[in-house]
Structure 1
């Protein structure tokens, strides 16, 4: 065989090997793409909200990195998968979304025991509230979360009241005022002080306030910039600095149980490594407590008035709302639980965590 004959044959062989290699790489890429798990994450606030930017997106980035991009999120903010905020838990349970971030008690009447940390004067800050919520729920209330696997839970920094043109200062000034409430417990607290609660989800608040449907709104500082309430309201009524506020909300970042169970062991471990009490504490601390001063900036810049109760007035509010906790106890008893015992345990967990935090300083 001549050299001229050998060269075309060698070239053909090389091209053949390259084609096989390319085919193999293409098949490998296709298999890898097919193996990639995309988790649909749904929530009720805009994509620019603190919750997405500083909590949901960082969590998603972390699991993508730790899974070598084999498991990634596709986030659907502002209810883009349809439905209402009150339906988010069921969307996770039914598999409409793989993961949801939701204010649990917007699904009214279903999270009675968990809602203990929505009661007034109980949660000192979001980090302790979030740790307490995780611990209490996993000890006493997991039956309320069937079908959804909790990844983390949290509270916010506590509710305060925001007004456009009214400036109530004492308990008596609130009688008859229409005030947006975040949940059933919050409504009972407002009723106890003589106000008229109007329960609605957070995204509906700006329109209701600006049109005078309500006189004011119970909203934590974290929620104010998310809905641009800082551009509408100019008077902010709060408890004495450092005291537990007049209510809270409990939040769940949870995954469809069947979707979680279907994950291969290594990817399930990635979820587990980014779940639990410490992640709950991270959400409370870094997403809420450490950012509260930033949330207040626009309100301060627009010349808003900040009113803090006196210690004597704070005691009046506590006395006026004592029955709110008693009603929660009765609700738990009506569902077969021991409300007084669970309330005492919820308090004990808070006191334990406060002591631990004080010892670390």
Structure 2
């Protein structure tokens, strides 16, 4: 039976059209819903879509609801709806609930949207977490600050990335934050460490058919707040405690037929602290990084998990792949042309990034590949080295 799969926002992020291409190659009816004019879609996306329903705004749920009603009338039962985008998780869940489509529904959202609920589930999975409270009153927050000390981190209980996330280092900064009446914010101790991730794709039974890990040069909070550069790289060897924690979290959150992106802090003393879960692929060019690291095709793997309920991916991680971003207001020691001349043998891909990614990831990206971890880091640092005035 031909599967009818609705893909929300198939044009963004820009490389997501490849998921639709792979679904169509496997015989699915791929039904797109977005507010982008049809003629502006990538040509390969237009070819992959069985039909496209344009709404005036994807935030208008009544329009999206009508789109699925139209598709159901025209093609029959919808088997899946997805966007692989955290921003549309609630829209997807509402549609699955209203049309009885398999996958996470409205009742499943708290655990994958609310950071406070994530912390509760992390604890159930026997994974360490930062101490934290939901802000209900200034007195409660001030008492917490006295208990754990500065710095603190304040972030929305429901939020994406480092948006509206603040580092608080003094009583004065805390007073300024509390003056904004921050209901719905999670207040946590600041954990010093590097970000490590556990990323992958789970099959229909919840088993990871692919998993890997990345490490970041800086925290996303610091990069966004200071407008710094960032690089991050895939690992060839996954720390055993990270894999064990990741697998426990997979089971507690009942992840099935989905990508996952779990974030942790690794402290200087080796403590592993769970930060948050994301039931989607990591952003930017991360899927492409994983593909280059193992000479695989995760766009196709995800499509196979949905259509055929199985996929075989070689477990070998052949390379480290490092993402290095640059920002236009910085004066770099090497021009773009000099970067390609010096490191072209190791740069497997480079491109401008969408403006929405500029603050966190830079305006221009380079993907650096080598079996040698130290080499990709050295090249990334050289690409981001600033000129001396």
TM-score by length of 1: 0.29
Higher helix share: 1
TM-score by length of 2: 0.28
Structure number with higher relative contact order (C-alpha < 8 Å, ≥ 6 residues apart): 1
The structure with the largest alpha-carbon Rg is 1
Higher strand share: 2
